[in-house]
């Protein structure tokens, strides 16, 4: 008896087009601007499929960097999570976008002449956002797009705005009808010889709040011609027989790269401290329907005399808030 052949993707007659149904070509994803940074040996690249639109963002540290990972919320989409990485990849496409992480890994293997001894492995971690809610197709970042983003990586600049993994990000979803497009942001700070780069892809339930408490993106009420804090809407729902359903498919992804020398324990705590601080700029944050992930990397180059790790975390937290705001300009 002849065995049945596996069906090809096109045989399923999809309701919406996906990667096998379109002639996808990775394209540059420059966004609305670039945040300069001075961290030699740190490269950043982006790429997108405009047919989505969706994209990915890669931070490449060829020499590798010790890494702490802080994952929170009820919907984390994470790959790797290693304690040492040569690259971090963020992507749209939810769980399907994890293919882009594999693409970065394959590209690094090829660059490293296919060497596979234990101490020659190129380690890549990554995480994804759910960005299907703002589009009507199943196009997602894949291995080809991840490799393209890595090939596009350059020193000294981080693309911001609606680009890379933030190409179809949205925020302020107390009610999805009041959501607004967001994107990816970055900020860079120097404190003596210490340097810190923070970049974030904002795709949150929460709205973005600036330093004076004003909601600057998300939870937009068209009838009122403005935005308001989600807490106002949640308070109005108290006691209702039919509570509003939580909007699913959210995540804020953040990467921090510093040259400050920290122990493993200190790096873990600083990652948690900075990640926790981001609730000031995104409210609410770390919810049941968010999958927030922070990767904190150090290149272990300088000390920060006179300032304990907690103090450094406080400084980096301000940089993180700047990155959030930059992502929604």
Q: What is the CATH number of the domain that holds 255?
A: 3.60.70.12
Rounded to two decimals, the pTM is 0.94
Question: What angle is formed at CA 82 by the lines to CA 158 and CA 131, rounded to 5 degrees?
Answer: 50
In a domain, 193, yes or no: yes
- Is residue 276 a part of any domain in this protein? yes
> Is pLDDT above 90 for 144?
yes
> What is the share, in percent, of the chain residues with pLDDT greater than 90?
86
**Which of the given ranges, 17-21, 232-236, 250-254, has the highest pLDDT on average?**
250-254
User: Which residue(s) pair with 118 in the sheet?
Assistant: none
The residue that leads in pLDDT, 12 or 64, is: 64
Instruction: State the greatest distance between any 2 C-alpha atoms of the chain, in Å, as a whole number.
Output: 77
pLDDT of residue 159: 98
Q: Which domain covers residue 308, as residue numbers? A: 30-326
In a domain, 11, yes or no: no
User: Is 278 part of a structural domain of the chain?
Assistant: yes
pLDDT for 236: 86
- pLDDT interval class at 6 (50, 70, 90): very low
Tally of structural domains, the chain: 1
| 122 token code pair | 């190129």
Please indicate, yes or no, if residue 245 is contained in any of the structural domains.
yes
pLDDT, tens digit (0-9, with 9 covering 90-100), for 56-68 = 999 999 999 999 9
Question: What is d(CA 162, CA 327) in angstroms, rounded to the nearest whole number?
Answer: 8
Domain presence at residue 237: yes
Is residue 93 domain-resident? yes
DSSP H helices in the chain: 98-111, 143-151, 230-237, 264-277, 309-326
Residue 251 bears catalytic tag: yes
What is the pLDDT confidence band of residue 174, given thresholds at 50, 70 and 90? Answer: confident
Q: Is 105 left (phi over 0), alpha (psi -120 to 50) or beta?
A: alpha
pLDDT value of residue 14: 63
Cα four-point dihedral sign 159, 162, 167, 169: positive
Using CA of residue 19, residue 22, residue 25, residue 31, what is the dihedral sign?
negative
**What's residue 190's pLDDT?**
97
Lowest mean pLDDT of 54-63, 106-115, 218-227, 249-258, name the range. Answer: 218-227
Mean pLDDT computed over every residue of the chain: 93
Catalytic one of 54, 67, 200, 251:
251
Measured between alpha carbons, how far is 30 from 292 in angstroms, rounded to an integer?
Answer: 24
- pLDDT tens profile 309-325: 999 999 999 999 999 99
Per-residue pLDDT at 106 exceeds 80: yes
pLDDT-above-70 percentage for the chain: 95
Res. 4: pLDDT tops 50: no
The answer to whether 119 and 160 are in contact (CB under 8 A) is: no
The answer to whether residue 19 is domain-embedded is no
Local confidence band at 327 (pLDDT 50, 70, 90 cut-offs):
very high
Answer whether residue 198 shows pLDDT above 70.
yes
């Amino acid at each position: 008896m002849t065995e049945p052949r596996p069906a090809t993707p096109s045989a399923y007659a999809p309701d919406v087009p996906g990667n096998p149904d379109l002639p996808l070509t990775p394209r540059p994803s420059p966004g609305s601007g670039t945040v300069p940074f001075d961290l030699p040996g740190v490269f950043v690249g982006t790429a997108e499929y405009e047919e989505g639109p969706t994209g990915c963002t890669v931070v490449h540290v060829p020499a590798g960097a010790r890494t702490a990972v802080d994952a929170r919320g009820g919907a984390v989409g994470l790959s790797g999570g290693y304690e040492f990485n040569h690259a971090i990849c963020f992507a749209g496409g939810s769980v399907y976008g994890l293919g882009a992480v594999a693409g970065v890994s394959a590209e690094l293997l090829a660059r490293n002449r296919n060497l596979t001894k234990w101490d020659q492995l190129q380690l890549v971690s990554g995480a994804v956002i759910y960005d299907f809610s703002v589009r009507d197709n199943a196009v997602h970042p894949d291995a080809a797009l991840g490799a393209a983003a890595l090939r596009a990586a350059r020193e000294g600049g981080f693309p911001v705005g609606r680009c890379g993994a933030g190409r179809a990000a949205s925020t302020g979803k107390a009610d999805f009808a009041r959501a607004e497009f967001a994107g990816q942001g970055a900020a860079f700070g120097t404190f003596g010889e210490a340097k810190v780069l923070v970049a974030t892809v904002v795709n949150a339930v929460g709205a973005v709040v600036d330093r004076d408490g004003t909601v600057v993106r998300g939870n937009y009420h068209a009838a009122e011609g403005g935005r308001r804090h989600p807490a106002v809407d949640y308070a109005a729902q108290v006691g209702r027989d039919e509570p509003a359903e939580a909007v699913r498919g959210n995540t804020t992804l953040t990467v921090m790269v510093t040259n400050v020398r920290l122990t493993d324990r200190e790096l873990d705590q600083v990652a948690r401290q900075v990640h926790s601080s981001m609730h000031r700029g995104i409210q609410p944050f770390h919810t049941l329907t968010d999958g927030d992930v922070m990767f904190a990397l150090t290149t272990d180059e300088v000390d920060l005399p006179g300032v304990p790790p907690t103090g450094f975390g406080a400084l980096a937290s301000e940089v993180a808030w700047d990155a959030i705001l930059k992502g929604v300009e």
